């Protein structure tokens, strides 16, 4: 019996529901901790970053306009598909991070559980983050959280999957769209995860995944006028003060970098960071 040839996977970018190569044609080698070649990943350019923001902006209206219940269903579906591809993600993490299958499996399981946790908040967080305000007079006064728009996220760089999941999911809960710069060292699981999103009822453009150098892309995204929020959770090795200053020029919401377990810990505050509060006054009917 003749031996089959393997079919190497081509890892591309994920922009607007499609999987293009970098417009520059650039790639970089992804290797195992022992130096073994694993794959070529796309080295995203400034043009790719602009295209990702454009796709995210186009998707805001549809995603933010969906009901909270519907967004919860979509996020839960992501967890279902991720569960079905568990073996693939375990192997990718083993190859990239050089950990055992048990450790990689625990990371995948935690990532799945994280999606379920955030999916459950979709139709609940507004009741916690919003409120009916006590006012004097014949008025209803209600404050409600609304999505801020396009969020750029620099994912934790020391994790192949869990860091990406933990930073992207909360932004989606409130109805934001996302451009995420994946781990430069461990990018393969990020693109495989984008394939999960593409088969999980997530509209094109809601999540756009860039691979390559955060140091190259982050400054352009931080100063981009069509970006509303900048999550620097994985930017601790960058000049993140400069990124904050660039973001301030266009009045973006900005978080600071985090390290260790705190960078991936689930929290309601991660959802509310990507929201703005709208307060509505309404006259009570007089009988």
Residues 118-159 have pLDDT tens digits of 999 999 999 899 888 888 888 888 889 999 999 999 999 999
Q: What is the CATH number of the domain that holds 275?
A: 3.40.605.10
In a domain, 98, yes or no: yes
Residues 36-45: tens digit of each pLDDT? 999 999 999 9
Residues 25-68: tens digit of each pLDDT? 999 999 999 999 999 999 999 999 999 999 999 999 999 999 99
Query: Considering its fold, how many domains does the chain have in total?
Result: 1
In a domain, 161, yes or no: yes
| Strand, helix or coil for residue 88 | helix
Residues in the chain: 287
List CB contacts of 41: < 8 A, sequence separation 6 or more: 11, 27, 28, 29, 30, 187, 188, 191, 211, 212
How many percent of the chain have pLDDT more than 90? 85
Q: Using the predicted structure, report yes or no on whether residue 14 has a pLDDT greater than 90.
A: yes
DSSP string, 176-222: -EEEEE--SSS-HHHHHHHHHHHTTTPPTTSEEEE-S-HHHHHHHHH
Can you give the residue range of the structural domain that contains 101? 27-283
In a domain, 5, yes or no: no
In a domain, 15, yes or no: no
Q: How confident is the model at residue 90 (pLDDT cuts 50, 70, 90)?
A: very high
pLDDT score recorded for residue 281: 85
In a domain, 99, yes or no: yes
In a domain, 1, yes or no: no
pLDDT, the chain, mean: 94
**At which residue do the structure tokens 């568990």 appear?**
86
Longest Cα–Cα distance of the chain, Å, equals 88
In a domain, 16, yes or no: no
In a domain, 81, yes or no: yes
| Strand, helix or coil for residue 97 | helix
């Amino acid at each position: 019996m003749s031996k089959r040839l393997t079919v190497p996977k081509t890892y591309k970018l994920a922009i607007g529901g499609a999987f293009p190569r970098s417009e520059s044609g650039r790639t970089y080698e992804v290797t195992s901790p022992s130096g073994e070649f694993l794959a070529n990943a796309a080295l995203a350019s400034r043009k790719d970053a602009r295209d990702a923001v454009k796709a995210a902006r186009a998707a805001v209206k549809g995603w933010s306009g969906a009901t909270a219940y519907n967004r919860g269903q979509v996020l839960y579906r992501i967890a279902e598909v991720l569960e079905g591809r568990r073996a693939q993600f375990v192997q990718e993490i083993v190859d990239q991070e050089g950990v055992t299958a048990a450790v990689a499996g625990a990371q995948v399981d935690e990532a799945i559980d994280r999606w379920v946790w955030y999916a459950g908040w979709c139709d609940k967080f507004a009741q916690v983050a919003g409120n009916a305000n006590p006012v004097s007079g014949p008025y209803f006064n209600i404050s409600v959280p609304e999505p801020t728009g396009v969020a750029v996220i620099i994912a934790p760089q020391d994790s192949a999957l869990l860091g990406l999941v933990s930073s992207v999911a909360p932004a989606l809960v409130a109805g934001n769209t996302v451009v995420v710069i994946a781990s430069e060292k461990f990018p393969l699981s990020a693109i495989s995860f984008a394939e999960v999103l593409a088969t999980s009822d997530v509209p094109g453009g809601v999540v756009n995944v860039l691979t390559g150098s955060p140091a190259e892309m982050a400054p352009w995204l931080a100063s981009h006028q069509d970006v509303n929020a900048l999550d620097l959770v994985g930017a601790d090795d960058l000049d993140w003060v400069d990124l904050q200053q660039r973001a301030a020029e266009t009045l973006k919401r900005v978080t600071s970098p985090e390290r260790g377990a705190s960078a991936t810990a689930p929290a309601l505050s991660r959802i509310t960071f990507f929201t703005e509060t709208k307060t509505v006054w309404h006259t009570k009917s007089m009988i």
